[in-house]
Amino acid sequence: MRLLTPILVASNGHEVIVPPPGLESGVLLRDLDLMALIAAAGTASTTLAVDLDSVEGLNADAAAARFLAVELGVDVVITRRPAVASRVAALGRTALLHVFAFDSTGLARSLEGHPREPGIGTVLSPGPVLDHLPPAEVERLPRPLVAYGFVETAEQAWSLLRCVDSVVVRPGCALDMARDGTPGWYALDKGGRGD
């Protein structure tokens, strides 16, 4: 199984994704249908993540979890459903429970359902909220932690990588991150990962 990478480039499976040169990156497939997902998954050569709830034609249940993990070899599955996350983790893949941070109360309620089991991390949307939370609040989020949604610029993405394990970005943003180069703090903090 391939590991969660610090950068996940979002794709609907229809565009050619150019990996950001010099950076560890994978692909997040989202907003596509089941047939397109199967086609795209077959060509993946890096870490492959799927936003299960955004795949048309695929139910968010245990059967879908098995299909993604076993049949398609998906490394990381994002889902809003705790039971599905548990199933994915039981199959030896990384599960990320999708929690929504619209306000403090909603985030707390969303986290109440987190299984907090080994192999189940957290995807938080929208990602830039994490830049506004106190470190202690971020630390309480089950790891690995991924920022997903509205990460629009390389500057935002690098900033978020100070407190998360991975960011979901659009292809253009990923290339901007590569062009800007890895910040010095990142190379030090992450032991050179991404160099």
Partner 1 sequence: MIRSDPKVRAFHARLLATPCCAALVDHDRLAAALASPVGIVFVLRADGLELRPLVTSVHAAGKLVAVHLDLIDGVRPDRAGVRWLGHAGADAVISSHGQLMPAIRHEGMVAIHRLLLVRRGLLDAALAATSRSGADIVEVLPGVILPEVRALMPSLDVPLLAGGFIRNEAQARAALGAGAVGVTTSAENLWAVDLR
Q: Give the interface segment with partner 1, choosing from 42-50, 61-69, 85-93, 126-134 (CB under 8 A).
A: 126-134
Task: Decide if residue 101 touches partner 1 (CB under 8 A).
Answer: yes
Q: How far apart are CA 52 and CA 31, in angstroms?
A: 9
Report which of 188, 159, 156, 183 is spatially closest to residue 23, judged by C-alpha positions: 183
Minimum CB–partner distance for residue 93 and partner 1 (Å):
22
Toward partner 1, which CB reaches closer, 77 or 89?
77
Task: Decide if residue 30 touches partner 1 (CB under 8 A).
Answer: yes
The site map against partner 1 for 137-166 (x = CB under 8 A) is -----------xxx-x---x----------
The site map against partner 1 for 72-91 (x = CB under 8 A) is --------------------
59's tokens? 């139910």
Task: Decide if residue 125 touches partner 1 (CB under 8 A).
Answer: yes
Q: Which of the 8 DSSP states describes residue 138?
A: H
Toward partner 1, which CB reaches closer, 59 or 104?
104
Q: How far apart are CA 45 and CA 67, in angstroms?
A: 19
Burial of 136: CB neighbours in 10 Å, binned 0-12, 13-18, 19+: exposed
Report which of 67, 6, 10, 12 is spatially closest to residue 36, judged by C-alpha positions: 12
> Binding partner 1 by CB under 8 A: which of 13, 20, 121, 128?
128
Q: How far apart are the first and last CA of the chain?
A: 22
Binding site for partner 1 (CB under 8 A): 10, 30-31, 100-106, 125-126, 128-129, 132-133, 148-150, 152, 156, 170
